[in-house]
């Protein structure tokens, strides 16, 4: 039982350390889009640049999420393999 508690504690510490990696993708901030026709005319160039920058940031955000997903999926696979080894070793110790 002590071995299992130590294993869970180690996994928790390792998981906590890797949590800083996940979540590094920040969604873009939506640009202001006026509804007043005078504002639209007055700021048309700025609004176009803001919208284009926003959509570029959205694409970058989705690429970041895809990369994080791949990294976390690989990490989960490695943890699964390690945990399988732990269970196998723990099972042998009980014989």
DSSP state of 31: P
Ranges of beta strands (E only) in the chain are none
* Gap between the Cα atoms of 5 and 3, Å rounded: 5
pLDDT tens, 47-68? 999 999 999 999 999 999 999 9
pTM of the model: 0.63
pLDDT tens, 14-48? 555 444 555 689 999 999 999 999 999 999 999 99
* Gap between the Cα atoms of 58 and 52, Å rounded: 10
Element (H, E) at 8: helix 2-19
Q: How many other C-beta atoms can be found within 10 angstroms of the C-beta atom of residue 30?
A: 10
């Amino acid at each position: 039982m002590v071995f299992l508690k130590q294993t869970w504690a180690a996994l928790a510490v390792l998981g906590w350390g890797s949590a800083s990696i996940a979540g590094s993708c920040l969604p873009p901030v939506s640009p202001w889009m006026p509804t007043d026709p005078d504002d639209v005319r007055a700021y048309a160039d700025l609004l176009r640049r803001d919208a284009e920058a926003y959509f570029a940031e959205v694409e970058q955000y989705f690429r970041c999420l895809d990369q994080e997903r791949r990294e976390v999926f690989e990490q989960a696979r490695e943890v699964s393999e390690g945990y399988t080894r732990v269970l196998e070793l723990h099972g042998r110790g009980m014989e």
